Amino acid sequence: MRKPAFPAPRLYLCLAAIASVVAVGCMGKTPQHTAQSYLESLKLYNYPAAYQLLSHQDQLDRTMDQFLTQIPLAPDVSRDWFKTVLHATDFQVGDAKVEGDKGNVVVKVTRPDLALWERTINATMGPNDSASSIAQKQVNDQTYPKLVYDDNIVVTKVGDEWRVFVDFPAKERIAKMRKDAIEAFHKYDYDKALSIYQNAIAELDKEPATGNAGLKFLYNREMQTIQNVKNQMPESQAYIPKIGLTDVDMKMAASRVPGIFGKLTNSGDKAIDEIQFTVTYYEGKGAKKKAVATETHTPVATPLEFTDFVRPVMPFVPGETRTFGFRLTAPPDVQQKATPDLNVSQIVFTQSPAPLPKPPPAPEASPAASPGAPPAASGSPAAAAAPSMPPLPSPPKH
């Protein structure tokens, strides 16, 4: 999570001192009261008061500054959208289960479904609309898509008071596991990614701590996305010939480095979030032809996570044509001696339930796209379709 805005140092110290007194005075006599006090402080953007409600161990593990980057139950968005999304988030404190000096309080969370919200606005907005302006209006009208799930606040008893227990080191380890899972996902090792997610969820079950229930819910959603993509592999491989490549040519890029340029068209009936090209360099001819190097490029990459409305989040829809261009990265001696061959090698279908945008006009008039561009002259890549495995989630914003 990125930092929310907070007061200047001198004023901040005064507020922290006042908040400390208020927090101690309002410290919960029951687990629910402590949970309610924490959430009310959060909703009022009173971060010092929320920090003062943490357990002594949590305050040793994280300074106030560090807490501002890892606020439990707060939205994982940029500073620009932090207060807006937090304002749109509703927390309802539920039942508490107490065992000895520990308690677990159920918290029902209702918040914007951020990725779905962003895609929906981008798909339906007009050419002169501003995505952020539409989003602000929808927050005021409460017309954004909502995500509802159960989270939790764990409290520990200190004397007569209950304090919020977070366990920041464990959260950090589990976040690293999630990052590793997504990296495995990008390498198309879905079994490894799913296994890491399962281990991360098992870790969340080991030691009860604040926010674990919400993380389990979100991690299970991400796991299901990966499982869906894995299940769709045969279909996505069969779809690759429907990605038409035209006007494919190799020429010097603006940086005076050789590059490949052209157009691609989605001639099928599926929306696509990601397409990957593989450039294979061959030497020799006929029976002596052999591959000597490969490189990959991603001409279509639609973010799966919320981007704070800073860029259009638009899948590659049926009937759409886009231009592409990329610099070649193989060593110069390989580029001089070998012939490059361009193929569509990876596809991932759109997983989001958001409405699809209408295809924009083609970049410019061009011949009808075909499943693969015809072989080009020597020194230019041949563009053909070849089945391969698909990729997915973008790295987490941590």
Q: Is residue 365 part of a domain?
A: yes
**Which residues share a beta bridge with 343?**
278, 384
Report the SS3 class of residue 382. Answer: strand
Per-residue model confidence (pLDDT) at position 371: 38
Domain count, the chain: 1
Q: Is residue 247 part of a domain?
A: yes
Q: Is residue 291 part of a domain?
A: yes
Q: Is residue 250 part of a domain?
A: yes
Q: Is residue 343 part of a domain?
A: yes
Q: Is residue 166 part of a domain?
A: no
Q: For residue 289, give its domain range.
A: 235-385
Contact yes or no for 164/58 (Cβ under 8 A): yes
pTM over 0.75: yes
Q: Is residue 313 part of a domain?
A: yes
Instruction: Tell me the backbone φ, ψ of residue 40, rounded to 5 degrees.
Output: -65, -40
Residue 278 CB burial class (10 angstroms; 0-12, 13-18, ≥19): middle
Report the interhelical angle of 31-43 vs 79-87 (nearest 10°). 130
Contact yes or no for 59/51 (Cβ under 8 A): yes
Residues 6+ apart with CB under 8 A from 286: none
Q: How far apart are CA 369 and CA 372, in angstroms?
A: 8
Per-residue model confidence (pLDDT) at position 364: 65
Report the interhelical angle of 212-231 vs 168-186 (nearest 10°). 10
Contact yes or no for 317/357 (Cβ under 8 A): yes
| Cα-only R_g, the chain | 26
Contact yes or no for 46/25 (Cβ under 8 A): no
Cα first-last separation, the chain: 6
Q: How far apart are CA 36 and CA 25, in angstroms?
A: 14
Tens digits of pLDDT across the chain (398 residues): 555 544 444 444 444 444 444 444 445 689 999 999 999 999 999 999 999 999 999 999 999 999 999 999 999 899 999 999 999 999 999 999 999 999 999 999 999 999 999 999 999 999 899 999 999 999 999 999 999 999 999 999 999 999 999 999 999 999 999 999 988 887 778 899 999 999 999 999 999 999 999 999 999 999 999 999 999 999 999 999 999 999 999 988 777 889 999 999 999 999 999 999 999 999 999 999 999 999 999 999 988 789 999 989 999 999 999 999 999 999 999 999 999 999 999 899 999 999 999 998 888 643 333 333 333 333 333 333 333 323 333 333 44
Q: How far apart are CA 137 and CA 86, in angstroms?
A: 15
Q: How far apart are CA 319 and CA 265, in angstroms?
A: 7
Per-residue model confidence (pLDDT) at position 188: 79
Question: What CATH code is carried by the domain that includes residue 316?
Answer: 2.60.40
Q: DSSP class of residue 242?
A: G
Per-residue model confidence (pLDDT) at position 366: 39
Residue 199 CB burial class (10 angstroms; 0-12, 13-18, ≥19): middle
Q: How far apart are CA 348 and CA 346, in angstroms?
A: 7
Q: What is the distance of C-alpha 14 from the center of its chain?
A: 37
Per-residue model confidence (pLDDT) at position 7: 44
Rounded to 5°, the CA angle 52-54-58 comes to 120
Contact yes or no for 83/3 (Cβ under 8 A): no
Q: Is residue 393 part of a domain?
A: no
Per-residue model confidence (pLDDT) at position 305: 83
Per-residue model confidence (pLDDT) at position 166: 98
Q: How far apart are CA 365 and CA 367, in angstroms?
A: 7
